[in-house]
Structure 1
Amino acid sequence: MPRLSDRDAEGVCAVSGQRPTLAAVAARAGVSPSTASLAFSGAGPVAQETRERVLAAARELGYAGPDPLARSLRQGRSGIVATLIGERLLYAFRDPVAVGLLDGLAEVLSSLDSGLLLISGDATRTGPTPDQVARTPMDAVIFAMCGRDDDPLLDHFIGRGIPVVAVDGPHREDVAVLDVDDYGGSMALARHLAELGHRRIATVTLPSRLDGHRGPMSDERRAQVGFADVRQRLKAVEDVFGRVPVVETPTNIIEEGQQAAALLLAAPPAERPTAIVAQSDLLAVGVIRAALDSGLRVPDDLSVVGFDGIETPWLDHYVLTTVEQPYVEKGRVAGRMVAEFLAGRRPDDVRLPIEVRIGTTTAPPAAAGTLAP
């Protein structure tokens, strides 16, 4: 029986179920393995004719390129930057702030030759667990849409020696923190309402914990707010007005803001809030919808403020009074902080600037005799 030549054997590997090797490509192209490697990387003094011959041989053999796992082992990097999302993955694509942050992050990571791995929670809004990520290789982790102060994943990653960038918290010395002035922005909004003459204020908050709770925030939950941004935004309002009614939402979507506001606006006119501070613009849109559904005029009967500065096409002619934060740039900065870690340097914590935007959803409270019933 005739024996296959080396070259014939190399040609068979593409259809035999075995992965073609760089050595096989080099033999087919008539060059050394090191020259073939340089031809694939695009680095080094390789003539264009030689590079084309190597690539043609690779196509013939069905060789897609060097094994990324082997390359990562040589470089000591996986090429993966994990981004944690505390809720279901769907949330990341429904929230404009989350979408903008991920877009800015991906923009920077692509220049680092790193891929973005999204790790989400489940349908019960329970975030990823240490068991889920224990065997996942990664070069760095970004707590992008979770960051609970007592998140067990923090100690897991720190214990593995994986650098962590925490967006909006948690604030710990062993992680690099990127945030905005949640307290200062919310304080400015609260003072704006106070200067307009409002005294009956209520707040619709983001989740204090990812446990699906919906409704008034009890004293116990107030004492256990797990997210720094929620805690700071609420503290700022109560530092201006004292203790206020608080309704907590389980997730940051318009419908939850609408449901929370309906609960607050069901009070008798004399007890109903004249202004509602929503901890996000999406929640604020829901508050405005609930007000209009109740026959209230915004801002005549109810002033509404938000936080984030997203586009709000749902509001027609209204311009929301809010705090604008640079959420796309936030993603870019998070990516640059990862780059610092990958270069062996510990990045400084970063606080990005915010700006208060006074829109058309706030006004002085109506006189007692002119309140809508």
Structure 2
Amino acid sequence: MSSQRPTLADVAASAGVSVSTASLAFSGAGPIAAATRQRVLDAAQALGYAGPNPLGRQLRRGRSGIVGVIVGDALRRAFRDPVSIQVLDGITSTLGPMGLGVLLIAGPHDPTDPPVDPLVELAAMDVAVMMWGGTTDDPVLSALRRRGIPTVLVEGSRHPDISVIGIADRAGIADVTRQLLGLGHTRIATVTLPFTNDRSEGLVDAARLDALEWELTRRRLDGVFDAGVQPVAIWETPASLVEHGASAARALLAGPDRPTAVVCQSDLLAAGVVLGARELGLQVPQDVSVVGFDGLDLPWFKPDVLTSVAQPLAEKGRAVGREVARLLEGEPPQSLDLPVELVWGTTAGPAPTV
């Protein structure tokens, strides 16, 4: 007996039909008698033929069946962030039932890295998802455009030819900042996400502010300005991790002229600021109020609960998946902003009265 795997042609010959008829029997489409279909399936079972290669079928349709998901950081850091995990879960739970796989590609996360991963340039993918707010001249976005790959940006700036799934983060940050003003705070600092791919850390001066490239960081910083606040200090972090929030707290809260409130652009940064403040002997919220963004459930942070602007993380991922499906059907790109909600916890002081 031949050691080669049986082919569709072998099945067709055994069933006494043409290859095209055998193909129709497996696809379930087209004019084919039930008895003929059963004869083909019986022949396939006898030969141990499992069915047409799904990759070959996809390629014949001009598709790979793959969605490239480009995260904005090293995977070792992205998978420490519950925000990334929950959005990815929403994406994959939507794409899986469509028969689509996901190729994870790390984004630029170190100044020495090439601006575009070779997989972005070469890997087969039907649609790309960029998991961070790209800029108009982002090299990754430019590479995808050159390849003609439909792209969905998560929290990106608006482009006429790109789908964007975003949230009302600027308005949410403005809302929570106004609440801090209502509590009597006049010295408010902010701890931000990265400004650029070089991932600097430290106080932001005018020159650094002019160099701000990341749209997500810009919108959330603009939310503070929209509330009528000129921060007494802006501290940039290299990533949304607890340790970077703690470092920010140690730098911002050690002096006599420290801020009395800190607006953080993520919950992990906010949790780090709370921990860092307590290292300095400060009480939260009595000595310093801290607010975050994301609305994460952080069991290790209990009994404290962050005051935060909550975003619908899983739904955002599902919305990305639905937009991928639209693009695969040839629909034009569209953009969507999901609502956010202020959740009052224990880290900012008394809850606002309605």
TM-score of the alignment, normalized to the shorter chain, above 0.5: yes
Tell me the amino acid that sits aligned with residue 172 of structure 1.
H
For 1:28 and 1:92, how far apart are their aligned partners in 2?
52
Are the aligned partners of 1:87 and 1:210 in contact in 2 as well (CA < 8 Å)? Answer: no
Query: CA 1:323–1:71 in 2, change beyond 3 Å: closer, same or farther?
Result: same
Tell me the amino acid that sits aligned with residue 12 of structure 1.
S
User: Counterpart in 1 of 2:316?
Assistant: 330
Alpha-carbon offset, residue 79 of structure 1: 1.1
User: Counterpart in 2 of 1:255?
Assistant: 243
Secondary structure at the aligned position of 2:347 is classed as coil
CA offsets, 1:296-325, max 9 Å, x none? 111111100000111111221112111111
User: Counterpart in 2 of 1:3?
Assistant: none
User: Counterpart in 1 of 2:268?
Assistant: 282
Query: CA 1:96–1:109 in 2, change beyond 3 Å: closer, same or farther?
Result: same
Indicate which of 42, 46, 59 corresponds to 1:53. 42
Runs of 4+ with deviation above 3 angstroms: 25-32, 38-52, 67-70, 125-128
Indicate which of 337, 342, 356 corresponds to 2:328. 342
Q: Which has the larger radius of gyration?
A: 1
Indicate which of 124, 134, 152 corresponds to 1:137. 124
Alpha-carbon offset, residue 22 of structure 1: 1.9
What is the root-mean-square deviation of aligned Cα atoms in Å?
Answer: 2.3
Indicate which of 155, 166, 171 corresponds to 1:184. 171
Are the aligned partners of 2:174 and 2:225 in contact in 1 as well (CA < 8 Å)? Answer: no
For 1:218 and 1:53, how far apart are their aligned partners in 2?
74
Indicate which of 290, 296, 300 corresponds to 2:286. 300
Tell me the amino acid that sits aligned with residue 205 of structure 1.
T
Secondary structure at the aligned position of 2:220 is classed as helix
Alpha-carbon offset, residue 109 of structure 1: 1.1
Tell me the amino acid that sits aligned with residue 145 of structure 2.
I
User: Counterpart in 1 of 2:347?
Assistant: 361
Secondary structure at the aligned position of 2:276 is classed as helix
Secondary structure at the aligned position of 2:107 is classed as coil
Are the aligned partners of 1:273 and 1:302 in contact in 2 as well (CA < 8 Å)? Answer: yes
Query: CA 1:74–1:296 in 2, change beyond 3 Å: closer, same or farther?
Result: same
Tell me the amino acid that sits aligned with residue 90 of structure 1.
R
Please say if 1:124 is aligned against 2:113: no
For 2:149 and 2:47, how far apart are their aligned partners in 1?
36
Indicate which of 94, 101, 112 corresponds to 2:98. 112
Query: Percent of pairs identical after alignment?
Result: 47
Tell me the amino acid that sits aligned with residue 219 of structure 1.
A
Are the aligned partners of 2:162 and 2:333 in contact in 1 as well (CA < 8 Å)? Answer: no
Alpha-carbon offset, residue 102 of structure 1: 0.8
For 1:82 and 1:128, how far apart are their aligned partners in 2?
17
Query: CA 1:21–1:227 in 2, change beyond 3 Å: closer, same or farther?
Result: same
For 1:25 and 1:230, how far apart are their aligned partners in 2?
59
* TM score, norm. by length of structure 2: 0.90
CA offsets, 1:15-72, max 9 Å, x none? xxxxx4321243355554234334443556555753652442453xxx5543444323
Alpha-carbon offset, residue 130 of structure 1: 6.2
For 1:54 and 1:36, how far apart are their aligned partners in 2?
10
Aligned length: 345
Q: Pairwise mapping of residues 110-259 of structure 1 onto structure 2 (< 5 A)? A: 110-121=96-107, 124=110, 126=113, 129=116, 131-145=118-132, 147-239=134-226, 240-259=228-247
Query: CA 1:77–1:215 in 2, change beyond 3 Å: closer, same or farther?
Result: same
Are the aligned partners of 2:133 and 2:215 in contact in 1 as well (CA < 8 Å)? Answer: no
For 1:361 and 1:339, how far apart are their aligned partners in 2?
41
> Any gaps of 5 or more consecutive residues in structure 2?
none
Indicate which of 206, 231, 252 corresponds to 1:264. 252
Tell me the amino acid that sits aligned with residue 186 of structure 2.
R
Are the aligned partners of 1:85 and 1:146 in contact in 2 as well (CA < 8 Å)? Answer: no
User: Counterpart in 1 of 2:59?
Assistant: 73
